[in-house]
Structure 1
């Protein structure tokens, strides 16, 4: 059995027979007429039989017509298969995992515009707790506050959280009027999942430790308590950006800050193109 010639050569014959014109075939395949003639010559040599009648350069022989018909049918099947596969690729959903507070207050409000900017597949946000099994979770892109990175995955630096005191509008206004000394008489709610951040802020700012410090298991619970006027929190405005923009949480002393966690994005290069991830992260974290 002779070796099958290249798909390019077969597609060239199909285009010439279908259009009946070398120039038209060249335009159809986005090549030069010279390339068309070369491919036809090589194909005719490989098949060892005339493809066009003598004296009529572009009148195909019955053999050429039969072959072109078979190639055309094959190309149509390939085209249909590719279009079906492409549709499945566009319909695929990419899972973006992040901590609950970051997911709810920064990622989800920006997701529609970010997805349009990234020009890729649909994106689903998976909100995980810090205490969840991240290594066992299924996701394609993750925003991490830890040094752990899945083996073989690529990573992108996002930035460092800047922490400050945050409170409801009324509570923040009262603190601003009283001055930083009033923090000592405040109630502060801290999250077990952000261990050490409150103490680090107190030390970095030289603030007198408040008399009342209440602990809750998760940061999003602390945020809800602060919104309800139950106390202040120390947290990153860049994460709670929707609440800051809405004026529901206010930093009474925005100059009093400390350094928090470093955020890093990781992604599976077999599931996500780097260009797509970079566009997505730029849209989600451009003002972080």
Structure 2
């Protein structure tokens, strides 16, 4: 069995090295600069070698980075030639994959990674829906248990942290909780238990989270928190870019888990579909170490 680093990370490295810019490579890959930076760090950690020197002027390849780029460029050129010829021969064999996902997951996790998906599964025409469409082949669902009538796979459990705008960094958490509103998220018209669960984990009174502002989606609460309108308890998997660029900051090291998570649900009639299986494989590979995978029949 081959022992290779993440192919996604190698692809991001090669694109960044050709452009000599994380921002330009992010645009070419249809992802965020934060996503590119994370993949480069993962690759450097896996190799145990620094690939770029970074300073206020930008990035430059190290000796190790230049060696890797020369090898990767030849390898990717060869792969591109072969796959292009195969794709041309099979041009009429494209398949449509319809996936439904919660709005926040679709916007904040899935959409920035679609470039990677198209690279991994280039012969699909993808349709992403945020409603429960009847023609979907698989569904990414926010919930706390498997669906008995589907093949349900737990992707990851939410990891809740307290966040706020940068201007609140370093201030007393209790003082902030006393003067700022709690930003709540509704699910089926009922508040999720994010606040009481986090306050319990932090050993703080639940009264801090009783009042505040309610939102229909997590994405709305995140935007309000970025604007300094209040404090939010949110899934850190959905705010990686904000934490990276500093538009949101962790106000406490306390983290609470669950009980909700994200599930991949596949109806029995689509369980053997090539494009559905390829999508599931891509999901597991793209998620890396945040997934807590557990297949449930």
- With the shorter chain as reference, the TM-score category is 0.5 to 0.7
2:137 maps to 1:140:
yes
Distance 1:137 1:123 in 2: 15
Determine helix, strand or coil for the equivalent of 1:192.
strand
Normalising by structure 1, what TM-score? 0.58
What residue number does 1:93 align with?
96
Distance 2:97 2:182 in 1: 38
2:280 maps to 1:278:
yes
The 5-angstrom pairing of residues 97-116 of structure 1 reads 97-116=100-119
CA contact (8 A) 2:159 2:236 kept: yes
Determine helix, strand or coil for the equivalent of 1:164.
strand
Larger radius of gyration between Structure 1 and Structure 2: 1
Cα distance change, pair 89–241 in 1 and its aligned pair in 2 (3 A):
farther
CA contact (8 A) 2:104 2:217 kept: no
| Deviation sequence 1:222-277 (CA, Å, 0-9, x none) | 22221222111111010233333332222121x21111212211223254456413
Q: Which runs of 5+ in 1 are unaligned?
A: 1-82, 129-133
Distance 1:93 1:257 in 2: 39
What residue number does 1:122 align with?
125
Cα distance change, pair 274–101 in 1 and its aligned pair in 2 (3 A):
closer
Normalising by structure 2, what TM-score? 0.57
Determine helix, strand or coil for the equivalent of 2:130.
strand
The CA RMSD measured in Å over matched residues stands at 2.8
| Deviation sequence 1:66-99 (CA, Å, 0-9, x none) | xxxxxxxxxxxxxxxxx99954432x33122211
What residue number does 2:49 align with?
none
What residue number does 1:256 align with?
254
2:195 maps to 1:191:
no
What residue number does 2:161 align with?
164
Q: Number of matched residues? A: 194
Q: Which runs of 5+ in 2 are unaligned?
A: 1-86, 291-297
